[in-house]
A and B are shown apart, each in its own frame.
Chain A
């Protein structure tokens, strides 16, 4: 067992950290107040990242990506997690699922996404189908050689800046011993395609400036070559590629928690009450001890889950544990960081209240904490006949 970073990994971490500190931090307050990232700022960040060769670092070099493995990518995302998500969105990590592109999809979607020419968004969730993804009611039916889509998706992140959408829809139902089970197919849909509309989403308490949108399909006609992966094979593409997003959530939580912790730690030695540094009061000192212990635990849990993926070991349970623990840890750490600051912790003059608001969504998206616990317990019980 070996817990150190290689020189390359060390340099990846320090470079991304310094990029986030220099290019992202100074813009955060303005973006938070404005509640949106102007397209020009997004482009500037993207261009710098392209220049650094860090764009699409999660894609193999064979398609022009950075060629990082899951562990290295988790280290990168951890540093990005320190910064505002609305802004780091433009650091450019297209959905890995695009590696399923075939034929002309490679030139139309995969390569432009890796080159930063087109941005993607991923759409599964519907008003009546959240945790129960398979319960979706957006459908695609065959019509001649084409597909015709109808339905609504909501909560689709980054949809305001996306040029195309990776959309999961129902393409039929199978009767199984457990009852009817929907067949799912994944489609690539361009913004502006007839019958397809992108509508503004809801205003969220977390990640101001990182918007979600609503997608409406009304007799939206798509050719066969818009299908990503196999027809009725949507769940297979989902399962082969989407584990990565849960590691991303977990590792970003760790990065943000460290940033919040750094604030709390420095304040604990700076702030004096009753003639002493507040860190010297056990009530504050022990908080710091608990915070760092929880952060380290989430960090190692996440990195080891990513490492398991790289080793080709089963990792589903470990990834769920990492996502669950890291997101719940972040909620506690950001809350306690505010507590260490007392009243100032709540004020907009510091980013702590923002970290605390942003932390809330991490327990919901990419599978709620309950769904992660469901995955973990299922993986434990199933082999025992449970």
Chain B
């Protein structure tokens, strides 16, 4: 079985994101970029599946500008076998990504797609679900445990009330959550091998997908700075503040 893992290039989680002076987006120039942390977890899970004999090939795919090839190389350095780069603007929307991935799935015919549950830049949490819908495949979202059982998979989902155990049909799209695993570092031997691993490049047009934006961004702003909290003396004061100052009750 082949496992497909989409990997997104995002601003490194250590970087303090700044809004551009003209409020059209966030500052990307000279900012350290890295693989979306949830996608690292997806790559790790695919590699573990391969190492335990449950998969025979791990293919990493990234959609975005040429620099996204660095993100694919990172996946290859972790141990993925092959990469696919689809040239597109950085600001591509989840629906367009899902449509492109659908075409990749049609060509590659993987048994599983491991996707991060969301990307830490726009936090959309949509791509995996849209892809499953477009493919008509089963989906397991927010997954913190997975076991493959022939043509189905037992997944554990992190839901508000606790953990939900589900059995899903394969092939399937699985969106991975934080607690699924702890991703490995790239290894030195794999770093040295990464460059020799195949990396195909293509454009959205090659796949016949219209990626024109469906949404318009009107303005990007910093969230309001959080003000310091206050201490109240008793419940009466609390109720009063909630009513008259915060105006929430």
Contact = CB atoms under 8 A, between A and B. Distances in A.
Interface of A: 7-8, 10-12, 14-15, 18-19, 21, 48, 51-54, 57, 66-68, 266
Contacts of A266: 16
A375 B165 CA distance: 69
Contact of A52 (B187, B194, B195): B187
Given A8-B195, A11-B194, A51 B187 contact: yes
5 contacts: A7-B73, A11-B74, A11-B194, A14-B74, A19-B185
- Of all A-B residue pairs in the complex, the 10 with the closest CB atoms, nearest first, are A53-B188, A53-B187, A11-B191, A15-B186, A53-B189, A66-B188, A52-B187, A54-B188, A52-B185, A11-B77
A12 B191 contact: yes
Given A8-B194, A11-B77, A15-B77, A52 B70 contact: no
B70 A10 contact: yes
Contacts of B194: 7-8, 11
B191 A15 contact: yes
B244 interface: no
A14 B191 CA distance: 11
B70 A15 contact: no
- Chain B binding surface, main DSSP class: helix
A37 B135 CA distance: 53
Contact of A11 (B14, B16, B184, B186): B186
B192 interface: yes
Contacts, number: 45
Contacts of B187: 51-54
Contacts of A18: 185
- Chain A binding surface, main DSSP class: helix
Interface string B149-167: 0000000000000000000
A12 B188 contact: yes
Nearest to B32: A14
A116 to B, nearest CB: 14
Contact of A15 (B14, B16, B185, B195): B185
Nearest to B186: A15
B185 A57 contact: no
Contact of B195 (A7, A53, A68): A7
Contact of B188 (A7, A14, A21, A57): A57
Interface string B53-86: 0000000000000000010011001000000000
A244 B24 CA distance: 49
Contacts of B189: 53
Given A11-B77, A11-B194, A54-B188, 12 more contacts: A8-B195, A12-B188, A12-B191, A15-B77, A15-B185, A51-B184, A52-B187, A53-B187, A53-B188, A53-B189, A53-B190, A68-B188
A292 B74 CA distance: 29
Contacts of A57: 188
B70 A7 contact: yes
Q: Identify which of B16, B70, B191 gathers the most chain A CB atoms within 10 Å of its CB.
A: B191
Nearest to A76: B188
A320 B14 CA distance: 35
A8 B77 CA distance: 9
B9 to A, nearest CB: 13
A232 B75 CA distance: 51
Interface in B60-117: 70, 73-74, 77
Q: Identify which of B77, B188, B190 gathers the most chain A CB atoms within 10 Å of its CB.
A: B188
Interface string B172-198: 000000000000111111111011000
Contacts of B14: 21
A318 to B, nearest CB: 27
A349 B123 CA distance: 33
A103 to B, nearest CB: 29
B185 A8 contact: no
Contacts of A12: 188, 191
B186 A52 contact: yes
Nearest to B73: A7
A267 B14 CA distance: 16
A19 B16 CA distance: 20
A301 to B, nearest CB: 24
A51 B73 CA distance: 19
A271 to B, nearest CB: 15
Nearest to B14: A21
Nearest to A266: B16
A7 B190 CA distance: 12
Contacts of A8: 191-192, 194-195
Interface string B111-143: 000000000000000000000000000000000
A203 to B, nearest CB: 34
Q: Identify which of A15, A21, A48 gathers the most chain B CB atoms within 10 Å of its CB.
A: A15
Q: Identify which of B14, B16, B73, B192 gathers the most chain A CB atoms within 10 Å of its CB.
A: B192
A266 to B, nearest CB: 8
Contacts of A66: 188
A19 B188 CA distance: 13
Contacts of A14: 34, 74
A14 B70 CA distance: 11
A15 B186 CA distance: 6
A12 B73 CA distance: 12
Interface in B12-42: 14, 16, 34
Nearest to B187: A53
A93 B13 CA distance: 29
A14 B184 CA distance: 13
A187 B41 CA distance: 48
Contacts of A19: 185
A333 B235 CA distance: 53
